[in-house]
Copies of this chain bind each other. A is one copy, B any other.
Amino acid sequence: MSMDRLITRILETKNPSVAGLDPKLSYIPDFIKEEAFAKHGKNLEGAAAALLAFNKGIIDALCDIVPAVKPQCAYYEMLGWQGVKALSDTIAYAQQKGMVVIIDGKRNDIGTTMEAYAAGHLGVTQVEDISLPAFGGDLLTVNGYLGSDGIKPLLKVCQEQNKGIFVLVKTSNPSSGELQDQCIDGKPIYRVMGEFCEQWGEQLPGQYGYSGVGAVVGATYPDQLTELRKALPHTFFLVPGYGAQGGGAEGVAGAFDENGLGAIINSSRGILCAWQKTGAAPEDYAKAAREEALRMKEDLCRVIPPMKAPAEAQ
């Protein structure tokens, strides 16, 4: 199951972080863009080619020290189908380099439509008698506003294909509380959604005690991270908002369990734009990304318990 594969890679690299591949054109060094535009034209195709080349450099620089990448669909879709092709190629390249791929699509729908998303992003699509992977991600972020009808079709595909999901629980943005902090019978909605994750996860048990149904919980809400870690013992957390969104290592410490597991912390701009922030030469963008990833790993490991597989999994 892919949550197990993610945790195994975290243990192997001793690094509980994921690189968010959210590349805007402005993050990409000119020499990459110029080459892509020269070849494909200054258009969506050229921009998508620049994205892919940039991503490959980042993946090459990180694949032995960072367990996973998380491409954010929006930045690929904004370049049309050409961008979506670059997303597809990025996923394949990262997996080929041994990385686990979390597709950040926050998809949501019901019934057969949600099955279609599950097939497309995690499973296989039937073209008559032939089964073909479309995007072939390992994990997918999803939004549970529609209730169980929106999640159950995913669980079926996850079971069959050994994949997993992350459900939005408490997002990192300032206004996330408008709905998520409101109380139903005295219990905040993020907590209700978190408990749904525990329940949905029963169908996808994992070898490290964490199920195939994880939760997205923002680094910007340390108290809720700590509260939810205790309340949801089988739910692995994907934590956005470290660094660029203001959350630091101390803020995410509560997301981890006594084995230093339980969460993976995302950094997107921090890693992708490291070359701009440090004033590195554009040619060294990937090297700067690697240095930032190592700095982040150290920063995180400083505040969490020494990482080890739980006794029952060893």
Number of interface residues of A (CB under 8 A): 71
Which residues 209-259 in A have Cβ within 8 Å of B in the complex? none
Given the complex of chains A and B, what is the CA–CA distance between A300 and B172 in angstroms? 43
Query: A74 interface residue, CB < 8 Å from B?
Result: yes
Q: Contact between B149 and A175 (Cβ–Cβ < 8 Å)?
A: yes
Do A148 and B178 have beta carbons less than 8 Å apart? yes
Pairwise interchain contact B149-A168, C-beta atoms closer than 8 A: no
The answer to whether B148 and A175 have CB atoms under 8 Å apart is yes
Query: Is A281 an interface residue, CB under 8 A from the partner?
Result: no
Choose from B42, B75, B177 the contact partner of A127 (Cβ within 8 Å).
B42
Alpha-carbon distance A81/B85, docked complex (angstroms): 5
A305 contacts the other chain (Cβ, under 8 Å)? Answer: no
From B33, B42, B179, B193, A144 is in contact (CB under 8 Å) with: B179
- Given contacts A81-B84, A149-B175, whether A107 and B168 have CB atoms under 8 Å apart is no
The distance from the CB of A93 to the nearest CB of chain B, in whole angstroms, is: 14
Whether, in the assembled complex, A57 has its beta carbon less than 8 Å from a beta carbon of chain B, the answer is: no
Other contacts beyond A150-B173, A183-B184: 11, CB < 8 A:
A22-B113, A25-B128, A37-B128, A47-B127, A78-B117, A80-B135, A84-B84, A110-B171, A145-B180, A146-B171, A178-B196
